[in-house]
Amino acid sequence: MELRINPAVIHMDESIIRDMTRVAEEAGAINLAQGFPEYPIAPELREAAAEAVRRDIRHYTRTWGAPRLRHRLARHLHERWGTGYDPEEEIVITCGASEAIMASMLTLLPPGATAVIPEPIYENYLPAVRLAGARPAILPVDPFTGAWNAAELDDACRGAAVLVLNTPSNPAGKVWSREEIETLAEILERHDVLLITDETYAHITDPAHPHIAPASVTGLWRRTVTISSFSKTYAVTGWRVGYAAAPRPLMAAIRKVHDFMTVCAPAPFQRALATALDLPESYYTEMAATYRARYELLAGGLRRAGWKTNEPHGGYFLLVDLRHLDIPDDRAWAVELAHTRKVAGVPGSAFLWAGLPRDDGTEPDRRGRFLRLSFGKREELLAEAVARLS
């Protein structure tokens, strides 16, 4: 039998992030690789999930999401970010942001189209582009300063169908400012490019650098698909519930793809997460402050030990600068670090175009540039990780 595999899959890595979790388990290392947050679930949310199971909520919801959750989400988006969506026609509840990204890419990228993606690149984006039969155009963003070139973005957007914007970004923690998003809006308008945003870490930011929802910026709402997740905000990564919000013409098409991908997100957790959207403002401020303190603990300890790091303004990842070490293969180095120093992180090549598998067979460039570490863990683990890396 001849085995026929989609070429888009042949040139696809397995998740390096999840692979480093496997390495951490095998090595008995502290896992600062995968981003599941060690933050307590709100008691109201835990009880709401238990109550949903007790009430025998176990069947399909409407394919685009339980009405209660969609309506409360629409209210939340309007009150917090200033964006307005009709919960009946402009929101879909998905199996995490990952599904929302895949469904949106498959919907909005015709075969042969171009998707512009800022780099460093979260690992889900390129597989989605390739599975859609599209091709990526990479916009370099300095992982340590967040600097990018507007002329390069303008060039990349000529003839493109979609720009993918991750803010706050993973892995670098860049929070795109209002001024940057306004510049981006002018370029997208000039070239008639759609925008897909991944705003998973919107609630986890430095107070001095608040999240700006791109769809709230003048001129962007009508061309933007806003994607996010409940996983990180409410520390329920295993519940697999996210969403996309977009104007009717875009959402009508995205909902069709979602329907045939997963039908619906888990029903009892949809019911519970409607309760999460009623949590007080103190929940969000305390959560963000906790992660900021953990960042200071990890970054401060590493810097005192002689390491250089970036200064993320959002999310719960930081980058350790490896450029001075002349590492020829950062994946092999990261595995060795997990076994010898008992701390696991994600090698930077997993987020860089040059370090990823290439359609033309070119060998990836995996020289060491940075290591991503999560500070979403408990304080005692972060302190021990610093001690092991000192």
CA distance 10 to 185: 35
What local confidence, expressed as pLDDT, does residue 2 receive? 82
What local confidence, expressed as pLDDT, does residue 328 receive? 96
Tens digit of pLDDT for each residue in 157-197?
Answer: 999 999 999 999 999 999 999 999 999 999 999 999 999 99
CA distance 247 to 244: 10
Query: How confident is residue 145, by pLDDT bands cut at 50, 70 and 90?
Result: very high
What local confidence, expressed as pLDDT, does residue 8 receive? 85
Whether the link from the prior residue into 168 is cis, omega within 30° of 0, is: yes
Q: Which two tokens stand for residue 312?
A: 């993320």
Q: Using the 8-state DSSP alphabet, how is residue 362 labeled?
A: P
Tens digit of pLDDT for each residue in 272-286?
Answer: 999 999 999 999 999
Query: How confident is residue 358, by pLDDT bands cut at 50, 70 and 90?
Result: confident
What local confidence, expressed as pLDDT, does residue 281 receive? 96
Domain boundaries of the chain, sorted by first residue:
7-40+281-389, 58-276
- 139 DSSP β-pair partners: 118
What local confidence, expressed as pLDDT, does residue 7 receive? 84
Tens digit of pLDDT for each residue in 39-49?
Answer: 999 999 999 99
Class of domain 58-276: alpha beta
What local confidence, expressed as pLDDT, does residue 362 receive? 79
Percentage of residues in the chain with pLDDT exceeding 70? Answer: 100
Mean pLDDT estimate for the chain = 96
With helix as H, strand as E and coil as C, how does 38-66 read? CCCCCHHHHHHHHHHHHCCCCCCCCCCCC
Pick the closest to residue 293 from 44, 34, 39, 30 (CA basis).
Answer: 39
Tens digit of pLDDT for each residue in 63-118?
Answer: 999 999 999 999 999 999 999 999 999 999 999 999 999 999 999 999 999 999 99
Q: Would the pLDDT of 359 be above 80?
A: no
Provide the angle, in degrees to the nearest 10, between the axes of the packed helices 379-389 and 281-304.
Answer: 20
What local confidence, expressed as pLDDT, does residue 303 receive? 98
Q: Would the pLDDT of 296 be above 80?
A: yes
Class of domain 7-40+281-389: alpha beta
Tens digit of pLDDT for each residue in 6-65?
Answer: 888 887 878 899 999 999 999 999 999 998 899 999 999 999 999 999 999 999 999 999
Contact 166, 146 (CB under 8 A): no
Q: Would the pLDDT of 346 be above 90?
A: yes
Instruction: Work out the average pLDDT over 345-357.
Output: 92
Q: State which H helix or E strand residue 8 sits in.
A: helix 7-10
What local confidence, expressed as pLDDT, does residue 35 receive? 84
What local confidence, expressed as pLDDT, does residue 4 receive? 86
Can you give the pTM of this predicted structure?
0.96
Work out the angle at residue 21's Cα, subtended by the Cα atoms of residues 35 and 136, and round it to the nearest 5 degrees.
65
Q: Which two tokens stand for residue 217?
A: 């910026």
* Residue 181 vs residues 7, 165, 178, 204: alpha-carbon distances, Å: 35, 10, 5, 19
Tens digit of pLDDT for each residue in 188-247?
Answer: 999 999 999 999 999 999 999 999 999 999 999 999 999 999 999 999 999 999 999 999
Q: β-strand 162-166 against 135-140: which pairing, if any?
A: unpaired
Contact 53, 268 (CB under 8 A): yes
